[in-house]
């Protein structure tokens, strides 16, 4: 049985133009999936429907056997502990230290009092340091987050998602504000999450090349509808054009011959 | 020339750089009417028995006695400092209690933390409290608590809360909504977000606003000492001026209040420069 099933998902914010309509796909455990599409195609909304950060209007999202749309408040908190999330702007608390920000990922497992008092077990702290070590930023553990570079902050964001011990990590344009070098580091880490820890990753991307290089499968969204859903290497230029509504000139045959 | 179609000319043909809308016209009219009324008012005063030369001399003499020969005559330095302490205490008590209560109320007045209709109710209620002057609140509470420090503290507390909730809730709303979203996505509860995201992000603003309010409350506490019989240096000032007609003592007390106000002002400016970002600095 697949980990995540999205069935005829529809979403509109103002009842008129639909952000998502009739979206269907399935995700198996351990897959690395990229969602590509032009700005405003509904990529972010689609991710946020999976952990119900926005309410689902039509259709259903089944995650790990649970119908996400029908969960009550307590069940929803429980569900969210299983779903990590990584953001374009990292969304860390800038005045707190790196280690404090990482431990924020454990709140889903805490009672109100435990969380408010900031009581974390030694195992949780050790795990936090282990993750920081793995992501290569353990030396910054006690620094304030606003002292780190963008790439380092994004790694803190990933550590915060991983300490939840999630079954799936949703990444909303994780490299959109990073330089190419930092982007590569972040994408490599995300890939290794799937390869080594077996955690499913769904990544919203603007860079088609990156999507093709890293993901097993690509979903193309255009005006709220899935227009492409296949393994990465089947994403040809023509299909990219369909997704983005652009026209790319066919690559001159001469040049291809020359490189061979 | 395309721009000429958008260009406005005055009646004498020169190019106008004012947009020339109704608001400006109303503003000009208002200022004109107020000027006329001010000049007219002087014509209707009762000037009988006024000797302008003597009036100026006497005023100058009073000011000289008050500010160049200040002295304490009805109480000593120890008593004076004790009275200033009482005034500071009134201000401190109403500010601290107000800040703590305001923190919790501000959580329910911030649109990013509470649903819309609760924030509206809280805000309208507080706008009403703010609209009534502190002195009136003190007198209203005096009906229940009797004239004295209890009524003064309650009244000042009331107004402090109304002021601080507005300031605090606006600081809370400045918090990046992405941070709140990120914590909600981990399954964190509302109180977790408040204590571990909102509070650390806004703590220095809250401190600055609280100190600013303390400064205001000190000034109000001086007035309340006289108006509500709350005691403290304000009451002594009231006695010195209205009962003993002791200008030297009035001068001395004024200096003491001035020095304290300057000290508070300097501290709050330092705090503000250190902690306020340019966007919220007022």
Query: By CA distance, what is B196's nearest residue in A?
Result: A116
pLDDT tens-digit readout, B48-66: 888 889 999 999 999 999 8
State what percent of residues in chain B have pLDDT above 70: 95
pLDDT at B134: 87
Q: What does the H/E/C string look like for B76-105?
A: CHHHHHHHHHHHHHHHHHHHHHHHHHHHHH
Asked if residue B201 lies in contact with residue A93, where contact means CB atoms within 8 angstroms, the answer is yes
Query: Which three-class secondary structure state does DSSP give residue A170?
Result: strand
Query: Which of B1-5, B34-38, B145-149 has the least mean pLDDT?
Result: B1-5
CATH code, domain with A233: 3.40.50.300
In angstroms, the separation between the Cα of residue B102 and the nearest Cα of chain A is 19
The rounded distance, in Å, linking the Cα atoms of A64 and A82 is: 9
Confidence of residue B281 (pLDDT cuts 50, 70, 90): very low
Of A118, A144, A165, which one is at a domain's C-terminal end?
A165
Whole-number pLDDT of residue B3: 53
DSSP string, A104-166: GGGGGGS-HHHHHHT---HHHHHHHHHHHHHTT-GGGTTSBGGGS-HHHHHHHHHHHHHTT--
Residue A142, domain extent:
95-165
Distance CA B5, CA A79 (A): 62
Instruction: Please report the pLDDT score of residue B46 as a whole number.
Output: 83
Chain centre distance of CA B204? 20
Which residues in chain A are contacts of B189 at CB distance < 8 A?
77, 107, 112, 115
- What is the interface pTM, i.e. ipTM, of the complex? 0.88
Confidence grade of residue A176 (pLDDT, cut at 50, 70, 90): very high
How many structural domains does chain A have? Answer: 2
pLDDT tens by residue, B61-86? 999 998 898 888 888 889 989 999 99
Of the residues A128, A145, A165, the one at which a domain ends:
A165
Residue A226 β-bridge partners? A221
Contact status of A77 with chain B (Cβ, < 8 Å): yes
Q: What is the pLDDT of residue B275?
A: 67
A241 and A175 belong to one structural domain: yes
In chain B, the residue whose alpha carbon lies closest to the alpha carbon of A82 is B186
pLDDT at B278 over 50: no
Give a yes or no: residue A16 inside a domain. yes
For B178, the closest of A78, A81, A89 (CB atoms) is A89
Mutate to test the interface with B, among A71, A108, A153 (most CBs of B within 10 A): A108
Which residue, of A141, A165, A189, is where some domain finishes? A165
Asked if A89 reaches chain B (Cβ–Cβ under 8 Å), the answer is yes
Are the beta carbons of B176 and A105 separated by less than 8 Å?
no
In a domain, A90, yes or no: no
pLDDT of res. A260 = 42
pLDDT score of B173: 94
Specify if A87 maps to a domain.
no
> Which pLDDT value is given to residue B282?
36
pLDDT for A192-246, tens place per residue? 999 999 999 999 999 999 999 999 999 999 999 999 999 988 888 888 888 888 8
Co-location of A252 and A141 in the same domain: no
DSSP A97: B
Task: Mark whether A239 and A186 lie in a shared domain.
Answer: yes
- Enumerate the residues of chain B whose CB falls inside 8 A of the CB of residue A47: none
Does A185 touch chain B if contact means CB atoms closer than 8 Å?
no
A79 touches chain B (CB under 8 A): yes
Helices marked H in chain A:
43-50, 73-81, 98-103, 112-117, 122-134, 150-162, 180-197, 208-214, 237-244, 253-259
How far is CA B255 from each of CA B19, B36, B262, B266, rounded to the nearest angstrom? 49, 38, 10, 16
Same domain for A69 and A177?
yes
In the structure, what pLDDT confidence band is assigned to residue A251 with cuts at 50, 70 and 90?
low
């Amino acid at each position: 049985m697949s980990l995540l099933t999205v069935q005829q998902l529809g979403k509109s914010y103002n009842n008129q133009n639909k952000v998502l309509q009739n979206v269907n796909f399935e995700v198996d455990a351990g897959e690395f999936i990229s969602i590509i599409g032009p700005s405003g195609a509904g990529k972010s909304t689609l991710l946020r429907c999976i952990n119900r950060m926005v309410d689902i209007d039509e259709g259903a999202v089944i995650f790990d056997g649970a119908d996400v749309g029908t969960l009550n408040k307590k069940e929803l908190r429980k569900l969210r502990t299983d779903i990590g999330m990584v953001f374009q702007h990292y969304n860390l608390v800038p005045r707190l230290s790196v280690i404090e920000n990482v431990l924020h990922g454990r709140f889903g497992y805490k009672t109100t009092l435990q969380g408010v008092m900031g009581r974390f077990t030694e195992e949780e702290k050790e795990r936090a340091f282990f993750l920081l070590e793995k992501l290569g930023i353990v030396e910054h553990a006690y620094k304030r987050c606003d002292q780190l570079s963008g790439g380092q902050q994004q790694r803190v964001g990933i550590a915060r998602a991983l300490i939840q011990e999630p079954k799936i990590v949703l990444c909303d344009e994780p490299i959109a504000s990073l330089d190419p070098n930092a982007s590569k580091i972040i994408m490599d880490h995300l890939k290794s999450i799937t390869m080594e820890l077996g955690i499913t990753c769904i990544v919203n991307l603007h860079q088609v090349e990156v999507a093709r290089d890293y993901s097993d499968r690509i979903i193309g969204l255009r005006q709220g509808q899935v227009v492409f859903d296949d393994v990465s290497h089947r994403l040809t230029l023509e299909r990219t054009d369909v997704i983005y509504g652009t026209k790319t000139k066919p690559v001159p045959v001469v040049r291809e011959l020359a490189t061979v | 020339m395309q721009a000429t179609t958008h260009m406005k000319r005055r009646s004498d043909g020169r190019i106008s750089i004012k947009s020339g809308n109704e608001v400006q016209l109303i503003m000009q009219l208002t200022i004109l009417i107020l000027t006329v009324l001010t000049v007219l008012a002087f014509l209707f005063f009762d000037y009988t028995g006024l000797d302008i030369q003597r009036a100026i001399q006497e005023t100058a003499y009073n000011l000289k006695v008050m500010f160049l020969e200040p002295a304490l005559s009805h109480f000593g330095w120890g008593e004076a400092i004790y009275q200033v302490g009482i005034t500071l205490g009134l201000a401190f008590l109403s500010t601290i209690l107000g800040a703590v209560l305001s923190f919790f109320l501000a959580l329910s007045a911030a649109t990013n933390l509470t649903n819309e209709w609760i924030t509206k109710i809280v805000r309208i209620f507080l706008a009403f409290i703010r609209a009534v002057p502190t002195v009136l609140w003190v007198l209203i509470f005096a009906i229940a608590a009797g004239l004295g420090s209890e009524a003064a503290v309650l009244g000042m507390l009331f107004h402090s809360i109304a002021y601080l909730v507005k300031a605090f809730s606006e600081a809370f709303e400045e918090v990046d909504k992405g941070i709140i979203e990120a914590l909600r996505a981990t399954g964190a509860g509302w109180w977790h977000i408040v204590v571990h995201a909102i509070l650390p992000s806004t703590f220095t603003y809250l401190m600055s606003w609280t100190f600013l309010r303390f400064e205001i409350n000190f000034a109000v506490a001086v007035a309340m000492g006289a108006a509500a019989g709350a005691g403290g240096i304000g009451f002594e000032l009231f006695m010195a001026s209205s009962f003993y007609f002791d200008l030297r003592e009035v001068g001395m007390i004024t200096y003491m209040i001035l020095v304290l106000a300057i000290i508070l002002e300097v501290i709050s400016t330092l705090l503000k420069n250190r902690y306020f970002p340019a966007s919220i600095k007022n």
